[in-house]
Chain A
Amino acid sequence: MKKPLILLVSLVLMLAVSAAGCIDVGQPASNRTITDMTGAEVVIPAEIHTVVNLWPASNSVMLCMGAGDKLVGTTAFTKKLFWSQKVYPGIVDVPVATDNVEELLTLSPDLIITPQQKTAETLRAAGLPAICLMFSDYDTMKQAFTILGQAFGGEYIEKAAKWSDLVDQNTARVQAAVGSIPEDKKPVVYYIQGQSNQGLYATFSANSIMEDWTEVSGGIFASTLLNLSGTTASAEDVLALNPDVVIIGGPAQHELYEELMAAEEWKGINAVKNGRVYTNPNGLFPWERFGMESALQILFAASVIHPDLFQVDMVSEVQDFYKEFVGIELTKEEAQNMIKGYGPKGEDYT
């Protein structure tokens, strides 16, 4: 009579013990804490092997640092860039990630990077290691890249520091040549944003990285003059400024260049009359925006805004940069293609 009872109890105990063994306690060997751009303290694993990155700019930074193989979730924009495919061919197999909590829990990456504070908070609340890495000008970029370097550890900490130094060095070089130009002699620089073809009046707001590199390079940013807080300018306002230089960036730059040169209302504008309409280099990310190549943008911008005061061998600067940070050798042709806004083999985005 007691035997069946003992059998039952031991059966239950066995089940309990084995079930306990199956329970994932979820505590990795060792953790550490980092602070993200919003000041939140986030617990992340000691070593980061898998990353889901929800922001195109940040993806390009990871590829630029040579950390592309850590990506298990990326963005569509990143995948379509020809330079992404050259630097990290495996990018074509990395799936496009969403901020769907359940999917991410299944994927269970070591780190999730997002530009939105709200997303980071939601994901953290679900127990995911998410950090917000929003950056919008050189200072915040230095901070953000430092945090990224810390997260990946080892050589990445060095690379982040080197990048900050490079920005300072390039700024100093350029300022040496153009720093003393009086305000009234500075050319008005109008920037056309060409992530996709949204017309000639898609630009960027004042108080942005575009304003930064323009001013460092001795120019006056058009959006600053217009007090523009949005990203679309009024056609007549822009024409009234009579810009001296036009810089067109992004994958749609060549299409937009043709459009601008064909537009009747631009024919009488200084930049067109004097042949000072330029396309912007476009590598792992459009240089003029928030990728790591923005360190090179300072040099490029100065060379087109004040070609008589500042000259630079852009090809060798690109080759050095890629050797140092990405870890690959670029041929002269590939570098020239990037500077002209094409893919490594001269591919066009449009």
Chain B
Amino acid sequence: MKLEVRDLGFHYPKQERMIFSDVSFGIDKGEVISILGTNGAGKSTLLNCMANLYRPIRGEILIDGRNLRDMRSKEVAKYIGYVPQVHNPAYAYSVLDFVVMGRTPYIGMFQTPKEGDYSAAEEALRCIGITHLIDKPYTEISGGERQMVTIARVLAQQPDVILLDEPTAHLDYGNQIRMTRLVRKLADSGYAVILTTHMPDHVIMLQDKVGILDHDGRFTFGKAEDILSDSLLSNLYSVDLKLVYIDEAKRDTCVPFAY
């Protein structure tokens, strides 16, 4: 297990209500886990715990067997990369300069990026296919492009695990599909990818594992084809949903029925 989560529980300081509890699962290289849930269920909070941004109240997170709590930020960053849902730029760094910041865990406290770091950044941009953006100020590109650039930054970080917070949330329909394909491609390249989403179709497209977080904080984990069902999805979203097999797509799709 590359990354293992055991009995994780969290509530905000000074609050009593557990956002989630007894969350346990593991992920290996090449796997994708989609965390599916409703608004406010706590998906982002769970992801933030895994990114070492929040401290869990109960349980532990282990990377390569080591407890995240015992590691320094710099070390964690060499294993785990995080792509936030939205990034509000304050300053107009060039795309290359922004991507090379992914190399920070490998750059000494008083040092600056070297040629090797710039090569890694350029390689990451090539991987995503956005080298044409390399010198543009990253404030002058579209939101979708900025998302891609942020993923490139994470790739430059050369982590083992990539966390994405609702990567399709601000994308148009076409870009959503392309993003989902990119996630699959990243996993196939050897990364362990965990993302949060509330699109059941994307989970199905990724053909891998899913974790369901409901509004009572309960976590159900397993292979998507085993876990996802009409009743589960309908209960989760409080809407009548049905999984319908589409022959042309060779997969199920989630459809609301009966207004």
Touch A–B, Cβ below 8 Å: no
